[in-house]
Amino acid sequence: MYKLTCPHCEAANEVSTAKAGGEITCRACHDSIRVPKLGELRQLPLTGDSSAAKVAANAAVGLSGGRSLAFITLGLVCLLSLLGAGFCGVNWATTDVPITTQKHLEALQEHYATASSAQLIREYEDITEYGVDIPTPLHYRTLELEKDAWKYKTLAFAGLAAVSLVLAMIVGRRRREKYLTR
């Protein structure tokens, strides 16, 4: 609340910003007093009411306030997370896996079903002599693992974006409610 002096009787009257540009009635002489516009009204001294002083202090703080900074930070985290999710999603979609493990096993089963006894015996001897250890994963399996990694990264970034968006909305809503209730 601001202190507005009556031009007729010099009495101090309290006026809120909602009355800016309008008129009020003086408490002492009951004459009509013109209330200045909002910019001029904020130049007037504040009354002893601490809630009005807090509103004025919060209005003066503007974007440097803690809630505004948290809102902006969460918004940037959300934006960057969405960009990361988009990047990972594009990489996931464009990674082409020519064959899956399941199809590879089916092809091996088909091969063994049609192989001759001599081929199976030679393969058995090679396995017993050299073992079945493969030093590196097959190429299709490497691509399969890479595609899975891009998928999980996409989901992680999308989750982070969703959480930061919800938190930003909560912080923004509390800030707006805080000013609307005063």
User: Do residues 56 and 98 share a domain?
Assistant: no
Q: pLDDT at position 182, please?
A: 53
Q: pLDDT at position 68, please?
A: 83
Q: How far is 82 from 163, CA to CA, in rounded Å?
A: 11
Q: Write out the residue range of the structural domain in which residue 20 sits.
A: 2-62
User: Do residues 24 and 101 share a domain?
Assistant: no
Instruction: List, for the chain, all residue ranges whose pLDDT scores fall below the cut of 50.
Output: 50, 60-64
Q: pLDDT at position 136, please?
A: 76
Q: How far is 167 from 149, CA to CA, in rounded Å?
A: 27
Q: pLDDT at position 10, please?
A: 87
User: Do residues 115 and 152 share a domain?
Assistant: yes
Model pTM score:
0.51
The per-residue pLDDT for range 54-94, each reduced to its tens digit, is: 555 555 444 446 778 888 999 999 999 999 999 999 999 99
Q: pLDDT at position 63, please?
A: 43
Closest to 111 in 3D by CA, of 102, 121, 120: 120
